[in-house]
A and B are shown apart, each in its own frame.
Chain A
Amino acid sequence: KNQVEQSPQSLIILEGKNCTLQCNYTVSPFSNLRWYKQDTGRGPVSLTIMTFSENTKSNGRYTATLDADTKQSSLHITASQLSDSASYICVVSDRGSTLGRLYFGRGTQLTVWP
């Protein structure tokens, strides 16, 4: 069964600290992996998208890594800010259909305290 599991479910850190969010998936065949940031009550906004051949991609203070062999990805946030408080969602796409089926994780709820 194709699944995307994220950990931790929730995380609280102090402003200025770094943190790493994890994503494990069993989706096959794999097409790409995306990380989204979703503020409360808003739609998700894309942070990074990585294909099979990419093992790291950065977007400002956000750095995503991908290990396609172990089917794991991480999102590292550097020097956190209060505005980083949000849910971070890992989404994996398969190559099994023209739709490019998307499998969503439940997200990690990050809270940054001053």
Chain B
Amino acid sequence: EADIYQTPRYLVIGTGKKITLECSQTMGHDKMYWYQQDPGMELHLIHYSYGVNSTEKGDLSSESTVSRIRTEHFPLTLESARPSHTSQYLCASIEQGGEQYFGPGTRLTVT
């Protein structure tokens, strides 16, 4: 059982609001990832981190930002939410052996 958590699980918010999606893992993994997934579509990498104070943008252009101040915590922030940000956001981490663990996801709806 993977110890990776995301909050909130569901969020409905109005356009223009600032939101932060939380992700934390208690496995001590250095590598963490944020993916965006629309219904029935593949996961797209939007941010990743190799460790504390290391963050990079992924393949899919995203208006979100991330931070990695602590190993266990990798929050994602949208400064001004728009309807186009409506999607599911999945956080993941990878252990040394290569196994990737996903959180339960946050389903975001921007009205």
Which residues of chain A have a CB within 8 Å of any CB of chain B?
4, 32, 34, 36, 41-46, 49, 89, 93, 98-100, 102, 104-107, 109
Determine, out of B12-20, B61-69, B72-80, B96-104, the stretch whose residues face the partner at the interface: B96-104
Contact B98 A43 (CB under 8 A): no
Chain B, residues 68-111, CB within 8 Å of chain A (1/0): the string is 00000000000000000000101110100011111111010000
Extra pairs beyond A42-B104, A43-B103, A105-B42 (18, CB < 8 Å): A34-B100, A36-B102, A41-B107, A43-B92, A43-B102, A44-B43, A45-B102, A46-B100, A89-B42, A89-B43, A99-B31, A100-B94, A102-B45, A102-B100, A104-B43, A106-B40, A107-B40, A107-B42
Q: How many residues of B contact A (CB 8 A)?
A: 24
Q: Interface centre among A43, A46, A104, by most B CB within 10 Å?
A: A43
- Our pick among B40, B48, B94, B104 for the contact of A43 (Cβ within 8 Å) is B104
Query: Chain B: interface secondary structure?
Result: strand
When C-beta atoms are compared, the residue in chain A nearest to B44 turns out to be A104
Contact B104 A106 (CB under 8 A): no
- Give the number of residue pairs across the A-B interface with Cβ within 8 Å: 46
Q: What residues on B are CB-neighbors of A102 within 8 Å?
A: 45, 100
- Our pick among B91, B94, B105 for the contact of A41 (Cβ within 8 Å) is B105
Q: What residues on A are CB-neighbors of B94 within 8 Å?
A: 100
Q: What residues on A are CB-neighbors of B107 within 8 Å?
A: 41
CB distance from B59 to the nearest CB of A (A): 9
Q: What residues on A are CB-neighbors of B100 within 8 Å?
A: 34, 46, 102
When C-beta atoms are compared, the residue in chain A nearest to B56 turns out to be A99
Contact B98 A100 (CB under 8 A): yes
Tell me, in angstroms, the Cα distance from A41 to B10 when the chains sit together: 10
Tell me, in angstroms, the Cα distance from A43 to B50 when the chains sit together: 21
Contact A109/B40 with A32-B98, A46-B99, A49-B99 known, Cβ cut-off 8 Å? yes
When C-beta atoms are compared, the residue in chain B nearest to A36 turns out to be B102
CB distance from A102 to the nearest CB of B (A): 7
